[in-house]
């Protein structure tokens, strides 16, 4: 039988066959040239430290372009937008997005240890997505798990369309009045962030989510187990937004909730600091002294050094010409030179390292603005750690210098008792007062 005779006798079957072939060809074409789900770069295994450091330094050269007033608070969306605009190849696009924390806006130096964690974040369809997030400190992990959502983002890289999983929030420019005063990097126009990038569903992207997959039972066990992320985060995630005392974290939370009605139980008003005490046992004073958007100092949205997680920014430090070397002497960039004439909430570990190295003039502290919890035994490890740059037993130099300076200003029994309790819990070194 000829082919023509076969087709005439099997016209319906032939029509289905032709349609099937067309559909298969269409799918093959889209697989080869359409949007592909991205398998992100395994940064630690597929790049070396020299490449990572070079890339990090190149991005940091653009810091003043991304943040003209040098205020990077919650600046993840601005970092992401700048990296998109750099028109990088796929490899570098993924590499550069690991150099900042999308929650705090802090640069993440690849030379640091432990710069990422695996977490589970819900997507817009209710699926639990397991992936890797690059961060400055662990409270940021808690905040993205509770307040962020995973969405898709399409971008052309190396001539191909690529789809990524990204971390998103509702655009806070929907209600500009609710953006905290300590955040100045968002350029709002007609209810939209002009210097931001939007996901496929129209949400504001603040970070790339790496090595993602639908969470398995084993993935859930890994973050819920002993020493898992959820063990650290349980208290913070159970705390109402108004009651958070987390420095950079509480700012991000307020941004993420800016579009929500306060009646939904997630009030985004200012914190109540009436119960916080300073190291003299008196009401804690604000560290922030110049109230404008340009003056930023790692305090919470009300100007207090009240952070209880992460870097523990609790040391109210007066930056002048003699102490402007603080950041470089503690293994950071030279950001503190731009803080001359202002106060700043410094991390316990960074302050302890600064004093262990013999730096400072012995009169750097604003003691009324240092919370009493800085001397709690719970924070011993925070005094002794600083991003891999710490010195042995630097807690002694840090605590002694703080106590000596502040006790000389006010011979407070409350301060002396807190100091003695901390010394006894650590090893009872000799008192300086």
Q: Express each pLDDT in 96-154 by its tens digit.
A: 999 999 999 999 999 988 899 999 999 988 888 999 999 988 888 989 998 999 999 99
Considering only residues 68 and 44, tell me which one the structure prediction assigns the higher pLDDT: 68
Structure tokens at 263: 């009646």
- Cα separation, 425 vs 142, in Å, equals 29
Distance between CA atoms of 287 and 106, rounded to whole angstroms? Answer: 20
Q: What backbone phi and psi angles, to 5 degrees, belong to 422?
A: -65, -45
Taking only the tens place, the pLDDT of each residue in 390-430 is: 788 899 999 999 999 999 999 999 999 999 999 998 888 99
Work out the pLDDT band at 36, boundaries 50, 70, 90: low
In the chain, what is the greatest distance between 2 CA atoms, to the nearest angstrom? 110
Ranges of each domain in the chain: 37-245, 313-426
Whether 15 shows a pLDDT value over 60: the answer reads no
Other CB atoms within a 10 A radius of the CB of residue 381 amount to 11
Check residue 260 and give its pLDDT: 79
192-193 and 210-214 strand pairing = unpaired
pLDDT confidence of residue 7: 45
- HSE toward the beta carbon, residue 403, CA cutoff 13 A: 23
- Please give the pLDDT value at position 33: 39
Please tell me the predicted confidence (pLDDT) of residue 136: 87
User: pTM score > 0.75 for this model?
Assistant: no
pLDDT of residue 283: 93
Express each pLDDT in 137-148 by its tens digit: 888 898 999 899
Q: Is 116 exposed, middle or buried (0-12, 13-18, 19+ CB in 10 A)?
A: middle
CB-neighbour burial class of residue 409 (10 A; exposed 0-12, middle 13-18, buried 19+): middle
């Amino acid at each position: 039988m000829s082919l023509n005779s076969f087709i005439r006798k099997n016209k319906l079957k032939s029509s289905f066959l032709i349609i099937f072939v067309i559909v298969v060809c269409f799918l093959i074409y889209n697989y080869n040239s359409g949007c592909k789900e991205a398998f992100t770069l395994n940064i630690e295994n597929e790049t070396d430290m020299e490449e990572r450091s070079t890339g990090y330094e190149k991005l940091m050269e653009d810091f003043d372009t991304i943040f003209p007033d040098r205020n990077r608070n919650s600046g993840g969306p601005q970092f992401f937008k700048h990296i998109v605009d750099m028109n990088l190849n796929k490899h570098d696009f993924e590499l550069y997005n690991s150099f900042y924390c999308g929650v705090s806006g802090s640069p993440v130096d690849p030379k640091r240890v432990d710069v990422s964690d695996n977490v589970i974040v819900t997507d817009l369809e209710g699926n639990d997505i397991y992936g890797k997030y690059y961060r400055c400190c662990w409270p940021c992990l808690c905040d993205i798990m509770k307040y962020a959502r995973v969405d898709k983002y399409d971008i052309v890289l190396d001539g191909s369309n690529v789809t990524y999983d990204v971390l998103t929030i509702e655009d806070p420019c929907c209600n500009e009045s609710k953006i905290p005063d300590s955040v100045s990097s968002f350029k709002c126009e007609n209810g939209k962030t002009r210097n931001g990038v939007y996901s496929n569903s129209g949400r504001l992207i603040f970070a790339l989510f790496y090595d993602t997959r639908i969470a398995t039972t084993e993935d859930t066990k890994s973050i819920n187990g002993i020493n898992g992320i959820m063990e650290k985060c349980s208290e913070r995630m159970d705390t109402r937004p108004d009651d958070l005392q987390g420095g950079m974290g509480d700012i991000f939370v307020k941004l993420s909730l800016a579009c929500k009605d306060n009646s939904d139980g997630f009030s985004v008003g200012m914190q109540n600091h009436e119960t916080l005490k300073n190291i003299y046992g008196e009401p804690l004073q604000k560290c922030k002294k110049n109230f404008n958007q340009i003056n930023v100092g790692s305090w919470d949205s009300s100007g207090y050094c009240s952070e209880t997680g992460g870097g523990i920014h609790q040391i109210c430090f007066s930056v002048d010409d003699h102490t402007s070397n603080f950041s470089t002497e503690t293994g950071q960039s030279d950001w503190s030179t731009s803080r001359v004439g202002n106060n700043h909430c410094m991390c316990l570990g960074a302050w302890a390292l600064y004093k262990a190295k013999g730096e400072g003039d012995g009169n750097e502290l604003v003691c009324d603005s240092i919370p009493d919890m800085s001397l709690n035994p719970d924070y011993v490890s925070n005094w002794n750690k600083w991003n891999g740059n710490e010195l042995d037993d630097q807690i002694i130099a840090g605590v002694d210098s703080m106590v000596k300076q502040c006790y000389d200003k006010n011979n407070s029994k409350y301060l002396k008792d807190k100091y003695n309790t901390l010394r006894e819990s650590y090893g009872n070194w000799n008192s300086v007062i």
